[in-house]
A and B are shown apart, each in its own frame.
Chain A
Amino acid sequence: MRWRSGAWALLLCLLAAPALAERTPCAIHDPQRRPWFGDLHVHTRHSLDASTQGTRTSPRDAYRFARGDEIDLHPFGPDGRPQRRAKLDRPLDFAAVTDHAELFGEVHICNTPDAPGYDSTMCRVYRGWPRLAFFLMNGRGAPRFDFCGPDGRNCVEAARGPWQEMQQAAEEAYDRSSECRFTSFVGYEWTKVVDTASNLHRNVIFRGAEVPRVPAGATDARTPRALWDALDAECREAIPGCDALVIPHNSNLSGGFMFAPTRLHDGAAIDAAHARRRAANEPLVEVMQHKGASECGLGTGSEDELCNFELLPYDSFMGRFLPLARRQPAAINFARTALGEGLAIGARLGANPFAFGLIGSTDTHLGTPGLASERWTGGHGGAGIPLGEVIPDALLDPIEYNPGGLAVLWAEENSRESLFAAMRRREAYATSGPRIVLRLFAGFGLPADLCGDSAFAARAYESGVPMGSDLPARTDAGPLRIAAWALGDPGTASEPGTPLQRLQVIKLFLDAAGGVHEQVIDVAGDAGNGADVDPLTCTTRGEGFAQLCRVWTDPGFDARVPAVYYARAVENPTCRWSTRACNAAGIDCGEPRSVRRGFEGCCDASIPQTIQERAWSSPIWYTPQH
């Protein structure tokens, strides 16, 4: 068995090596780096939850969509014609299809008439009652289903089909010409839940075309450490050129487990080795997506009013499906709390397990990467509402969901090597959908006159460090300065962007007793600019800023105290997707007869009618030298 695995690895290496070499240098190579917009969390028909809600989009279709093509979406009529189509207003620069790895084989068998197991009871229920099958199959861990054959062999073998299709689709979509218009990454989602369906899901993104023969899913690699082990054993150590990083998401649904201060495999407290290993394997966290924001929770560890943004009213999947089992998310579910806890653990152990950067993505289950506009009211299908045969007269997503966000990477060029390096060094940021450009630098000798300078980036790189970095030990070069710069999304001719309202720096630091404190500082813009939106018409009112910039000197900086800084750029208010959908359906909450079944959420006072879209930078850390 071992020699077989080795032979497969060798064969893959031989096949992959020429492919890697065939990379024409990009015509655009900017040493000061550019922001590339993409989506690293995309599901297609190979994911159980997507397939059981009717999604037929293939990985190839998903990449076509990311590159700007219009694609068909379910439901499909009896004549096979789609009842809706979708197209991005602007293509993405990169994307990764990340289907759930756990049931690749099972889904493939249940959809393939000649496959052994196709006629099993489970597969019959899958085809006839897919939503019921979702609950029966999704909760299955090890051992595999009986219809998978002895030792689950048939399903493991069958999983290779979708996995290879995903690799081929990524390969075909990757623009290896000098135009470098689009980059694809091979990836998958490791889909583990614990306790009361508490989410530990992580996306695995591979650097290139060199990937393991089968993805390590949660059926076999049952803890995060087991996943890292599998990536070491089956990728980094087994296949030359293979590398991967792991991106956790939806800590908001993790019941506190995603950023727990203990090791999940044995319950022991995190030690220095584990902390280093986690930080090395998981340099990024997806802080914004379809199933809510995970930055911070208002009233749970923070009094920051802007934390009240796309928060889910429950802290695990159980709360989504069983309202009686709902728990309010605790502070430890959020990235900001983890960044602070990371400082405290780092101070104790000398290693910070939560030294992560931030990205957003959609988590689309329609195979539509980058469809993060609030103007799209057609739903995203995050294991949500199956549409059936016709588009129902109803809200097409649970009202607490949202269209998701985008990942932005600061890289020299749009190639796998350059973008992967950006992820590795955490020079990345998240947006809630708009294409806001956000830069953050920090340094002790950072010039105070960077804003407005055409050489902003060159001088900032020269005298400071960018987002995602660790500050060097304090020198006598000057006070600690933070340079933050945001450029509002210009939008398109048909859908102009929304101006910026303010630019903030969020600082977390430790006190002498090891307690974590936070400061939210408006460094530019005007929180009281009076900008507003009419929720009845979604017409925006008031002025904003096309761009905001500030070199801010931290007056409270203490060289003896660990600290972390990140930036947040916030737009003027606009209508939330649900407001647009409710308006389009003619819902008037003052007129109960207009509130049809399926639109009850429109009049739920806990759901805001307007939002302030935003971007979050990855942090910059300061650690005192002892």
Chain B
Amino acid sequence: MSPGNTRRLLFATALLAAPVPFFLGEPELAPVLRLAFLSTLVARVFVAEGGSTTGTLLGIGLVQLFVWTGLLFLATGLVARVLDRLSTDRARVATIAALVVGLLGASLGDLYDTPLSSTRARSSLLHLFE
């Protein structure tokens, strides 16, 4: 697997499943994809209704979205480079698979703090977007 593909796979997995702390009225510990989803909801309300509070919350959400996306991009790039240099092909694939499967596996438990959810304060990946 090329370093580029390794990075893309790790980056996508991290966006989908790596818990990151963010604040959108409540502090959550959830994947960046959820932050993006919630920010989209706030953006839709802002477009429809305007309002300074909604605008402020949207700004807070977008800033965090960019920061976390950037940090995860850098982090996964770093991991991809390390894997590329230190491992054989077989070991690299095994490590990448372990990382991806490990993260996705863990995300199936109630890994995330999601107080903004209407149904559960702690969620798994399967319930993040209910």
A residues adjacent to B (C-beta < 8 A): 120-122, 125, 128-132, 134-136, 138-140, 145-147, 321-322, 385-390, 392, 394, 597-598
Most chain A beta-carbon neighbours within 10 Å: one of B24, B118, B121, B122: B118
Contact A130 B53 (CB under 8 A): no
A132 touches which of B41, B47, B51 (Cβ 8 Å): B41
Smallest CB–CB gap between B82 and chain A, Å? 32
Tell me whether A136 and B54 are in contact (CB under 8 A). yes
Measured CA separation A134–B25 after assembly (Å):
9
Given A121-B48, A136-B53, A129–B121 Cβ distance below 8 Å? no
Of the residues A125, A140, A387, A390, contact of B53 by C-beta under 8 Å: A140
The answer on a CB contact under 8 Å between A131 and B54 is: no
Complex CA distance for A394 and B121, rounded to whole angstroms: 10
Q: Are A131 and B116 interface neighbours, CB within 8 A? A: yes
Mask, B78-106, CB within 8 Å of A = 1, is 00000000000000000000000000000
Question: B115 near A131 (CB under 8 angstroms)?
Answer: yes
Which residues from B are CB-within-8-Å of A131?
25-26, 115-118
Give B46-76 as 1s and 0s: 1 = Cβ < 8 Å from A's Cβ atoms. 0111111110010000000000000000000
**Within 8 Å CB of B49, what residues of A?**
120-122, 145-147
Q: How far is the CB of A279 from chain B (nearest CB, A)?
A: 34
Which B residues contact A (CB, under 8 angstroms)? Answer: 23-26, 38, 41-42, 44-45, 47-54, 57, 113, 115-122
Per a CB cutoff under 8 Å, which of B38, B119, B122 touches A389?
A: B119
Return chain B residues, CB-CB under 8 Å to A138.
Answer: 53
How many pairs of residues, A versus B, come closer than 8 Å at their CB atoms?
A: 84
The winner among A120, A130, A136, A394 for most chain B CB atoms within 10 A is A136
Q: Evaluate contact between A388 and B57: CB separation under 8 angstroms.
A: no
| CB contact under 8 A between A136 and B119, given known A131-B25, A322-B23 | no
The one of B41, B42, B119 in contact with A388, judged by C-beta atoms closer than 8 angstroms, is B119
Q: Would B53 and A132 count as touching, CB distance under 8 A?
A: no
Q: Given A135-B53, A146-B49, A321-B26: A129 and B122 within 8 A (CB)?
A: no
Report the separation of the CA atoms of residues A131 and B57 in the bound assembly, to the nearest whole angstrom: 13
| Distance from A507 Cβ to chain B, minimum over Cβ atoms (Å) | 44
Instruction: Say whether, besides A134-B25, A135-B53, A146 and B118 are in contact (CB < 8 Å).
Output: no
Contacts of B44 in A (CB 8 A): 121, 125
Contact in complex: B38, A122 (CB < 8 Å): no
Which chain A residues lie closer than 8 Å to B120 at the CB level? 388-390, 392
**CA distance in complex: A140, B115 (Å):** 21
Residue numbers in A under 8 Å from B53 (CB-CB): 135-136, 138-140
Chain B residues in 8 Å Cβ range of A130: 118
Identify the 4 closest CB pairs spanning chains A and B, nearest first. A139-B53, A135-B25, A121-B48, A388-B120
Give the chain A neighbours of B57 by CB distance below 8 A. Answer: 135-136
Residues of A within 8 A of B23 (CB): 322
Known: A321-B25, A322-B23. Is A392-B121 also a contact (CB below 8 A)?
yes
Question: In the docked arrangement, what's the CA distance between A377 and B53, Å?
Answer: 33
Q: How far is the CB of A447 from chain B (nearest CB, A)?
A: 59
Contact B121 A132 (CB under 8 A): no
Q: Distance (Å) between the CB of A80 and the closest chain B CB?
A: 16
Chain B, residue nearest A394 (CB): B121
Q: Are A388's CB and B117's CB within 8 A? A: yes
Q: Is the CB of A136 within 8 A of B118?
A: no
Nearest A residue to B46 via CB reads A136
CB neighbours (8 Å) of B42 from chain A are 132, 136
Can you list 10 A-B pairs with a CB-CB distance of less than 8 A? A121-B45, A121-B49, A125-B41, A136-B57, A145-B51, A322-B23, A385-B121, A386-B115, A386-B121, A389-B120
The answer on a CB contact under 8 Å between B48 and A132 is: no
Find the A residue at minimum CB distance from B37.
Answer: A129
Q: Cβ of A122: which chain B residues have Cβ within 8 Å of it?
A: 45, 48-49
Min Cβ gap A586→B in Å is: 19
A451 to B112 CA separation, bound complex (whole angstroms): 61
In the complex, chain A residues whose CB is within 8 Å of the CB of B122 = 392, 597
Q: Which residues of A contact B119 (CB under 8 A)?
A: 388-389
The smallest C-beta distance from A508 to any residue of chain B, in angstroms, reads 39
Contact with B24, one of A132, A385, A394 (Cβ below 8 angstroms): A132
Do residues B25 and A385 form an inter-chain contact, with CB atoms below 8 A? no
A129-B118 contact given A135-B25, A136-B42, A136-B53, CB 8 Å threshold: yes
Q: Which of chain B's residues have a CB closer than 8 A to the CB of A147?
A: 48-49
Query: In the complex the two chains form, what is the Cα distance from A322 to B27 in whole Å?
Result: 8
Q: Considering only CB atoms, which chain B residue lies closest to A146 in the complex? A: B49
| A385/B118 in contact, CB under 8 A | no
Which of B25, B44, B117 has the most chain A CB within a 10 Å cutoff? B25
